[in-house]
Amino acid sequence: MLIKKNILVLLFSVLSASLVQAETFKVSEIIINGLERIDQGTVLTYLPVQTGSQFDTGDSSRVLHELYKTGFFSKIELDRDGNKIIVNVTERPAITEVNFDGNEDVDDEQLKEALDQIGIKPGRVYHRSLVKVLEQNLRQVYFSHGKYGVKIKTKVEELDDNRVNIDIKISEGLPALIKQINIVGNTIFTDEQLLDGFTLEQPETVIGIDFEGDQYSRPVLTGDLEVLKSYYQNRGYINFKITSTQVSISADKKDIFITINVDEGEKFHVEKLDLAGDYVFSEQEIREKILLKTGDVFSNAVMVASKTAITKKLGDEGYAFARVNVVPEQNNETKTVKLTYVVQPGKKAYVRNITFSGNDKSTDAVLRREMRLMEGAPLNTTALNRSKIRLQRLKFVETVELKTTPVHGTDDQVDIDIKTVERLSGSFNISAAFSQVEGVVFGTSLTQDNLFGTGQSLSLAINTSDANTVYSMTHTDPYHTVDGISRSFEVNYRKRDASEELISNYLIDTAKIRVRYGVPVSEYDRFSFGYGIEAIDITLASSNVAQEFVDYVDTYGSSFENLTLQSSFSHDTRNRTVFADKGLIHSVSLSMTVPGGDISYYKIQHQSKFFFNLGNQHALMLRGQLGLGDGYGETDELPFFERFFAGGLRSVRGYRTNSLGPYDADVSSSVGGDLSIIGGVEWIFPVPFMETPPASVRMSMFYDAGNVFDREETSLNHAFFELKDAIGISYVWLAPIGPLRFSWAKAISPELTDETETFQFSIGSFF
């Protein structure tokens, strides 16, 4: 209605100008009345007339037309006072707020972005004509999410000072679900083969259970079409095309039918592989990076991977700006393709400056020593990527962003800018576990992983639970020498009441002093060794003590002083030490007493973890741990206080801590073993209902299995058939208040004597 009124005003002005005899005069002044928010200077810039210029009254229609085009005004009138032009305007109202109510599946930001495209946002001029466009744009947003039953109602609230609020009430309705995805034109591959790679799924029945189809999403369908295209082009069908895609909805707006029409084309093979440009390396070295061979079925993915491999080789030699292009030449008659890799290395680039930002607590030197590139050295992409991983592996670094910037005015220098986000490196930790027997058990520790910003760590622990009284101090300098040799120093005193941990009834006092060194063997391998002194004093209770513990004390005594040796070797390729999702770690360790001490024993342990990145924030983790111990010399067995135990949050979840393994029925307690086998599989996935979960959160489903054994009673081969297992869900959050770890687990076929725990947790607080 308002648009019609404006048109009538404009027509009336044009008609009036044509009826009145035109007159020309020199404009002495332009007066604009009625402005509230709009600056007068802004209006003057739109006027096709200026002070001092000649004005023909017949041009009044042109003036009105230009002002109405701005969209600022709902009414404009022109008047004249002598040689003065008077413009009377009424401004359109301004939008103060745009409010949404009822939207759950689509957040405010997505809806606001849709409205921004048509100029509806706080501070903009309000047009009544845009209400229908507003509602249509919002519907399109919901349609792209598969919600075709959405209802939108807009209310415009008029305020003082020529302002309005726009309130939008949304009833999202039920989503339309995919009923069928049909591919037409495929003769080489079946629908099942092609749809297997799709994210969107149609209804299916699995093991007698009916599953509904997915909610339709236009962006997801676009991604699936790219997957379909890649599927064909990676199998030789270089001319594959998706000729059309139809998405239809049922009359009740509940079911979505998707039809994809394809033209498969013919399968192509590789006829010839050529090189062009400046190789830098020998032709043979470049050809070794080309994974396709003459006669192979053409694959777009392998072609791109070969291009990437050549680019990486050039980058490793400092050619950071190298370009490798692949020129395919098709022969449709022979169904072959000739590929020419054109290599343009450019100039070798050198590192000018390496700068760090975001390290508010850590000194530059702490970060710089992790770099595998030096200023002045040729830029090496492998070394640069490894530097990023090493920085990410620091416990006090959460994220690392690395940017390579060409130096202005040169074509052979770059600056490396590294932005880090640091974690809170100090923590006051309170650990807790729920037990059907003990209830909640607490312990405390104080840890600083980045002492005074030096990268050194200091840990002080005090545990005063019913089971343990622990006082310990550990200091580690990861760069005791500039070559990266680390040194750790530990002082530890522990008074332990084993009966409180479901172990036989005895008390043990242990005091230890240890020094340990770590030596980097290679970028991924590290060897460590150490030595120490330990003093142990054991007090057996008068009752509820396992007879084998009594026998051990009768044979070897209850007080021991020993010199100890420790050594280990590790191979670690993980991309992070905290929340890794790629790489692996193997470690083998040996701890033993020096011959000639009060008792002689050794313990060997092997641990492995494999991380596989599955993409889209999914990862798979496999872990395994094997422990073996025994006495030697005049000591016939592994001391009972050094035995292995299993069960609990960090070994086999779903079972009470230390409850697995050999069991003394007479005293109803675990006695541990000299053989430990623990393993598990963990599927890491994005936290539900969080589109972009923070890097400090990890959620997973797991399968744990493990047990401990007495090798005199169980052989290694037989032990694998006696593993205890459980399945469950784990949630870990490195929260601002501290690390939180929760697990819910269900023991699989537990025996009556097994101590199970469904819920286990630990909590802490950072400072």
Confidence class for position 686, pLDDT limits 50, 70, 90 = confident
Confidence class for position 665, pLDDT limits 50, 70, 90 = confident
Output the six-digit token pair for 576.
Answer: 């992070």
Q: DSSP per residue over 161-187, as a string? A: TTEEEEEEEEE--PPPEEEEEEEES--
What pairs with residue 416 in β-bridges?
A: 354, 404
Please write the tens of the pLDDT for every residue from 315-358: 988 888 899 999 999 999 999 999 999 999 988 999 999 999 98
Percentages helix, strand, coil for the chain, rounded to the nearest 5? 20, 45, 35
Question: Mean pLDDT, to the nearest integer, of 121-141?
Answer: 82
Task: Give the pLDDT of residue 439.
Answer: 42
Confidence class for position 653, pLDDT limits 50, 70, 90 = very high
Please write the tens of the pLDDT for every residue from 179-219: 999 999 999 999 999 998 898 888 876 655 667 778 888 88
Q: For a pLDDT cut of 70, what percent of the chain falls above it?
A: 91
The residue among 61 and 604 whose pLDDT is bigger is: 604
Strand order in the sheet with 29-33: 29-33, 84-91, 73-81
Please write the tens of the pLDDT for every residue from 386-431: 999 899 888 888 889 999 999 988 888 999 999 998 877 776 666 5
Residue 454 has pLDDT above 80, yes or no: yes
Are residues 102 and 171 in contact, defined by beta-carbon separation less than 8 angstroms?
A: yes
Task: Quote the CA–CA distance of 324 and 346 in Å, as a whole number.
Answer: 11
Point out the least confidently predicted range of 206-215, 363-372, 374-383: 206-215
Q: What is the largest CA-CA distance in the chain?
A: 129
φ, ψ (nearest 5 deg) of residue 203: -60, 145
Q: Which amino acid appears at position 113 of this protein?
A: E
φ, ψ (nearest 5 deg) of residue 227: -65, -40
Residues 6+ apart with CB under 8 A from 583: 572, 573, 574, 575, 611
φ, ψ (nearest 5 deg) of residue 130: -85, -5
Please write the tens of the pLDDT for every residue from 699-744: 999 999 999 999 888 777 777 788 999 999 999 987 765 678 899 9
Output the six-digit token pair for 755.
Answer: 């101590």
Residue 570 has pLDDT above 60, yes or no: yes
Task: Give the pLDDT of residue 432.
Answer: 52
Question: Mean pLDDT, to the nearest integer, of 525-541?
Answer: 94
The residue among 400 and 765 whose pLDDT is bigger is: 400
Task: Quote the CA–CA distance of 292 and 615 in Å, as a whole number.
Answer: 25
Collapse the DSSP code of 637 into the 3-class scheme (helix H, G, I; strand E, B; otherwise coil) and give the result: coil
Task: Quote the CA–CA distance of 657 and 197 in Å, as a whole number.
Answer: 42
Mean pLDDT of all residues in the chain?
A: 86
Return the closest-CA partner of residue 304 out of 336, 339, 271: 339
Collapse the DSSP code of 324 into the 3-class scheme (helix H, G, I; strand E, B; otherwise coil) and give the result: strand
Residue 57 has pLDDT above 90, yes or no: no
Task: Give the pLDDT of residue 438.
Answer: 42
Confidence class for position 611, pLDDT limits 50, 70, 90 = very high
| Other C-beta atoms lying within 10 Å of the C-beta of residue 148 | 19
Are residues 360 and 422 in contact, defined by beta-carbon separation less than 8 angstroms?
A: yes
Query: Which domains, ranges and CATH numbers included, belong to the chain?
Result: 2-91 (3.10.20.310), 94-171 (3.10.20.310), 177-263 (3.10.20.310), 269-344 (3.10.20.310), 350-422 (3.10.20.310), 426-766 (2.40.160.50)
Task: Give the pLDDT of residue 109.
Answer: 84
Task: Quote the CA–CA distance of 205 and 271 in Å, as a whole number.
Answer: 45
pTM above 0.85, yes or no: no
Are residues 94 and 123 in contact, defined by beta-carbon separation less than 8 angstroms?
A: yes
Are residues 6 and 12 in contact, defined by beta-carbon separation less than 8 angstroms?
A: no
Return the closest-CA partner of residue 724 out of 662, 623, 649, 655: 655
Task: Give 88-91 contacts, CB < 8 A, sequence gap 24+.
Answer: 88/33, 88/34, 89/32, 89/33, 89/34, 89/35, 89/43, 90/34, 91/34, 91/35, 91/36, 91/37, 91/38, 91/125, 91/162
Task: Quote the CA–CA distance of 535 and 248 in Å, as a whole number.
Answer: 78
Output the six-digit token pair for 572.
Answer: 């670690």
Task: Give the pLDDT of residue 270.
Answer: 95
φ, ψ (nearest 5 deg) of residue 14: -65, -45
Residue 767 has pLDDT above 70, yes or no: no
Residue 118 has pLDDT above 80, yes or no: no
Residue 435 has pLDDT above 50, yes or no: no
Are residues 66 and 8 in contact, defined by beta-carbon separation less than 8 angstroms?
A: no
Task: Give the pLDDT of residue 17.
Answer: 43
List C-alpha distances in Å: 539 to 197, 506, 509, 562: 64, 6, 9, 18
Are residues 741 and 429 in contact, defined by beta-carbon separation less than 8 angstroms?
A: no
Return the closest-CA partner of residue 488 out of 506, 521, 513: 513
Q: For a pLDDT cut of 90, what percent of the chain falls above it?
A: 42
Confidence class for position 474, pLDDT limits 50, 70, 90 = very high
Question: Mean pLDDT, to the nearest integer, of 473-500?
Answer: 90
Please write the tens of the pLDDT for every residue from 235-271: 999 999 999 999 988 888 888 899 999 999 999 999 9
Residue 52 has pLDDT above 60, yes or no: yes
Residue 2 has pLDDT above 50, yes or no: no
The residue among 175 and 607 whose pLDDT is bigger is: 607
Confidence class for position 8, pLDDT limits 50, 70, 90 = very low
Within 573-617, strands assigned E span 583-593, 601-615
The residue among 133 and 477 whose pLDDT is bigger is: 477
Task: Give the pLDDT of residue 501.
Answer: 67
Pairing of strands 163-171, 94-101: parallel
Task: Give the pLDDT of residue 15.
Answer: 41
526-544 burial, b if ≥16 CB within 10 A, otherwise e? bebebebebebebebeeee
Pairing of strands 151-159, 84-91: unpaired
Point out the least confidently predicted range of 8-12, 554-558, 602-606: 8-12
**R_g (Cα) of the chain, nearest Å:** 37
Task: Give the pLDDT of residue 16.
Answer: 44
